Structure 1
């Protein structure tokens, strides 16, 4: 039996200035990579009853990820992020609201699915709306292993809610900038990523914490140990979705009973590969990696 994983939150289209659109949303990306790495992967989300929603569902079929847990919304449009180019080629992103994934409704069958999942993965962006947030609270009560992927995207981030979530989860992944923002919310600072991670764990009672550090690699900390891994030396095409693929790589090994160091090694391999490709979800299968 493949380990079951369930992701919750936004699925959407990233729409670029040249009109090209690509499927996106952190939970969507994580679900894709978990599926590619041999997990029985599900996503709980919501799309509009429109062409954009049907196109995302078609992608789910291609990826062989069940679409039954993705709800249709007859009123709200499918989610989208509008990308615009600023000075020095910096990209700015407008996350449209309200959209379908703001209205993910609780359904009794979701609870049964969550209870048999090895990991329930969700991001902090999906809590921006009351409806989806209410559904998430109910699902957290059923989840045996809760994984929070922090994605702070002002003005869509409520630090008070994020702080509440930190007290309810088993594993948290964030980057260094997000680590700084979380600590600022408690009036704290840190001298090193390890120091900052320990402070978050102590303040919120987080058992496991991963800090992704871009070209500097990644850090894992729990109550007894800590491990660091350097980033792979690769030719980077773009970094879109690299953090999502890192989390999927880590969980794919952890849920198979592999030790944390091995899970980190695979996470670094997968995320490094993704940065050599265009977009968050390049085509590959698990035979590419030692899984």
Structure 2
């Protein structure tokens, strides 16, 4: 594995996704990102919380088995480990019933996670972990310490409010939307949708964000850095399921983006390739090696599309 030169911290939910047939898999968007960042060769810390129960200890053991640090995952007797009932529809898209008042709704601020953030190259977070006041306050403290905040918007009704999203975007250096979330954000702000470039520039100006990613499903992915726009196609694969595909895309993106010398092409090729590679496998965190991913990437060369 490559030298773990860069460090990322992921904040928020770690949980058990319960699929039909009682199949149980570790999930939570921030953890999925952490898993793939680790696979890409980065140092990773996950700031979260699990219950002092069988499910919580099972999560910790599984993460340790993957050799990912659990040092910043808190254990609480006050709240249970999170479980999510996941259903997969005929299009292989997942839908979730997310239980509230679970351990990661009550993440504490600690001196240890502040120290971790002091030396981190990025802090990755989403909307869901800010649904409860306790974890939301902790997140805002973390955002003040981190110098590169990566916001995966990931809107899940009814667990968000526009005022809170606005506040988070003002603290963000890189924001990731999907097509629907981009349109929803403009609606929230009473901004007429003209086209993607106009929408992105509006959000960049309003929130002072230089970098925005828009995932466009079968139409590829768009990366905006200041006034520069880079559109890349998807890689056609046989889809096993789409669970965690956006998380793996973001991890691939950051694994190159944090290398200051990496070009936009290298960043987007890594992101699109990892997203496709994971979509061709079952689950958000399938077992694989960096070598296997790089072989897949080399066999699927990419070129930018005109935009």
TM range (shorter): over 0.9
Alignment of 1:287 onto 2:286: no
Alignment of 1:211 onto 2:214: yes
* SS of corresponding position for 1:235: coil
Q: CA deviation at 1:91?
A: 5.3
More deviation in 72-81 or 89-98? 89-98
2:271 alignment counterpart: 267
Unaligned runs of 5+ in 1: none
2:305 alignment counterpart: none
* SS of corresponding position for 2:38: helix
Q: CA deviation at 1:280?
A: 0.5
* SS of corresponding position for 2:231: strand
Aligned residues: 291
Contact (CA 8 Å) 1:238, 1:275: kept in 2 or not?
yes
Contact (CA 8 Å) 2:93, 2:242: kept in 1 or not?
no
CA distance in 2, matches of 1:151, 1:13: 18
Contact (CA 8 Å) 1:180, 1:189: kept in 2 or not?
no
2:80 alignment counterpart: 77
CA RMSD of aligned residues (A): 1.7
More deviation in 200-209 or 134-143? 200-209
Task: Say if 1:218 and 1:102 are closer, same or farther in 2 by CA, change over 3 A.
Answer: same
Task: Say if 1:138 and 1:216 are closer, same or farther in 2 by CA, change over 3 A.
Answer: same
Contact (CA 8 Å) 1:176, 1:193: kept in 2 or not?
no
Cα deviation code 1:30-87 (max 9, x no counterpart) = 0000000000011000001111111111111122111110000102110111134789
More deviation in 185-194 or 11-20? 185-194
TM-score (norm 1): 0.95
Task: Say if 1:54 and 1:213 are closer, same or farther in 2 by CA, change over 3 A.
Answer: same
Unaligned runs of 5+ in 2: 298-307
Alignment of 1:276 onto 2:276: no
Alignment of 1:135 onto 2:138: yes
* SS of corresponding position for 1:250: helix
Q: CA deviation at 1:236?
A: 1.0
CA distance in 2, matches of 1:199, 1:245: 27
Task: Say if 1:102 and 1:192 are closer, same or farther in 2 by CA, change over 3 A.
Answer: same
Alignment of 1:166 onto 2:173: no
